[in-house]
Amino acid sequence: MLDLKQLGEFGLIQLISENTIQDPGSVVAGIGDDAAVLLPAPGKLQLLTADMLVENVHFTLATTSAWQLGYKSMAVNLSDIAAMGGIPKHAVVSIALPRETETEFVVAFYQGMKEICREFAVNIVGGDTVSSPQGLIINVTVSGEVEPANLIRRSGAQVGDLVAVTGALGSSGAGLDLLLRGDWEKHKFAWPLITAHLTPRPQVRTGRLLAMHGVTSMDDISDGLASEANEIADASKVGMRLTAGKIPVLPEIGQAGELLQKDYLDYALYGGEDYELIFTINPDKYGKLAAEDLGVRLTVIGEVVTAAQGVTLLKEDGRSMILEPKGYNHFR
Ligand SMILES: Nc1ncnc2c1ncn2[C@@H]1O[C@H](COP(=O)(O)OP(=O)(O)O)[C@@H](O)[C@H]1O
Ligand SMILES: Cc1ncc(C[n+]2csc(CCOP(=O)(O)OP(=O)(O)O)c2C)c(N)n1
Ligand SMILES: [Mg+2]
Ligand SMILES: [Mg+2]
Ligand SMILES: [Mg+2]
């Protein structure tokens, strides 16, 4: 394969632009003009979100492949659309590449990205390619659409609602620690945790189902349960009473915690990057939701209380603590 110097910026863009359109009906012009031209669906609201990934902040090339990095960069953005009850539609992908980057790396990165785009019928309709003096930087912007009735915001939680989550929490944080430790290949229990960290699955289908079943608020878990629970509580002007013993985790996380000498619950509360959904819902509606076989794990972890009661966690020793919005924070 030609190297980046021989290919140049435009040769590289041409390579990237193959197989980028999954849903041609909504694209008038994709990669190749000054701006993409899109056909909005009548009667739907548009969603627009961006998340950026920076080398040695969000990933290290010592522990991720180019393919996995491409997959995850798109996944974290689709997760934000899922958290609104929406369907992701189009993506704009910008990359700043160190000069020594191999063409093969960029191609594999886009293969990972195109794989998840195929799965969720998302079009890559543009982007920007520049050089970086230090480190790889990726920014993905994704648009989505949602019917007004299915839009779910962080601000709708009501006192008396249940608080629930999808999937299992803490896997990604434990997976990251195992990756950074280096000897994870020796430990069979590491696999599901590492997979959760490197290639998280955005809960788009579940987000849609939850929206249609009348959840009152929803958020995706990028910074950890403690942080996202507080985000919903603040936006909705309510409090929450969560129970530590109810927080769903994979069985493997106990073994990881022992090896890493860390309380597994800390991963679930503060680890982040699980990209599961936290939501609130009226108890009767939850009853109906739980009675249907949705093919996903849903777990009630607490209830919505008044703002004056704050956001608290009932621990396994029977004591209650204030659940501070600690979690991943870029500047702390
Ligand atoms: N540099 C920025 N300029 C404008 N808006 C921003 C910027 N950074 C974050 N935001 C907005 O602030 C809100 C919170 O951001 P963030 O915590 O990154 O959300 P999320 O966890 O959903 O990705 C979002 O509405 C996001 O669009
Ligand atoms: C090398 C490395 N160190 C640390 C982390 C942990 N980490 C980095 S960013 C982040 C939180 C999520 O990223 P953010 O940019 O805050 O996403 P957003 O909340 O905007 O969706 C976490 C837990 C990591 N993934 N890789
Ligand atoms: Mg963000
Ligand atoms: Mg996000
Ligand atoms: Mg964050």
Predicted local confidence at residue 268, as pLDDT:
97
Binding site, by residue number, is: 34, 49, 51, 58, 80, 110, 127-128, 154, 220, 222-223, 273, 328
Phi, psi dihedral angles at 68 (to 5 degrees): -60, -40
The residue whose CB lies within 8 Å of the most ligand 2 atoms, and thus the one to mutate among 71, 176, 267, 278, is 176
Which residue's CA lies nearest to atom 25 of ligand 2? 58
Integer Cα distance of 287 and 296 in angstroms: 15
How far is CA 141 from each of CA 15, 39, 49, 282, rounded to the nearest angstrom?
Answer: 20, 17, 6, 33
The interface predicted TM-score of the complex, written ipTM, equals 0.95
Predicted local confidence at residue 4, as pLDDT:
87
Integer Cα distance of 1 and 117 in angstroms: 24
pTM for this prediction: 0.97
**Roughly what angle, to the nearest 10 degrees, separates helices 66-82 and 103-120?**
30
- Mean pLDDT for back-to-back runs of 10 residues, the chain (332 residues): 86 92 96 96 97 98 98 98 98 96 96 98 97 97 98 98 98 97 93 98 97 97 97 98 98 96 96 98 96 92 98 96 92 86
Binding site for substrate, by residue number, is: 58, 273, 328
Phi-psi region of 150 (alpha: psi -120 to 50; beta: other; left: phi over 0): alpha
Predicted local confidence at residue 2, as pLDDT:
83
Integer Cα distance of 231 and 296 in angstroms: 24
**Helices then strands (H, E): number in the chain?**
10, 13
Which residue's CA lies nearest to atom 7 of ligand 1? 50
Phi-psi region of 5 (alpha: psi -120 to 50; beta: other; left: phi over 0): alpha
Predicted local confidence at residue 327, as pLDDT:
84
Atom of ligand 1 nearest to the CA of 80: 22
Going from the Cα of 119 to the center of ligand 5, the distance in angstroms, rounded, reads 25
Phi, psi dihedral angles at 93 (to 5 degrees): -120, 120
What is the number of alpha carbons within 13 Å of residue 170 lying toward its C-beta? 22
Integer Cα distance of 76 and 277 in angstroms: 12
**CB within 6 Å of ligand 1 — which residues?**
51, 80, 222
CB atoms within 10 A of CB 18: 11
Going from the Cα of 270 to the center of ligand 5, the distance in angstroms, rounded, reads 11
DSSP string, 196-235: HHHSPPP-HHHHHHHHHTT-SEEEE-SS-HHHHHHHHHHH
Atom of ligand 2 nearest to the CA of 79: 21
Domain residue ranges in the chain: 4-149, 162-322
CATH architecture of the domain formed by 4-149: 2-Layer Sandwich (3.30)
**CB within 6 Å of ligand 2 — which residues?**
51, 56-60, 76, 176, 222-223, 272-273, 328
Atom of ligand 2 nearest to the CA of 53: 15
Integer Cα distance of 162 and 85 in angstroms: 18
Which helix or strand (DSSP H or E) is residue 115 part of? Answer: helix 103-120
Q: Which ligand has its closest atom nearest to the C-alpha of 219?
A: 1
Name the CATH code of domain 162-322 (choices 3.40.50.1370, 3.30.70.120, 3.90.650.10, 3.30.365.10).
Answer: 3.90.650.10
48 within 8 A of 133, measured Cβ to Cβ: no
Atom of ligand 2 nearest to the CA of 80: 21
Q: Among candidates 145, 159, 301, which has minimal Cα distance to 211?
A: 145
Taken as a whole, the chain contains a residue count of 332
Going from the Cα of 298 to the center of ligand 2, the distance in angstroms, rounded, reads 24
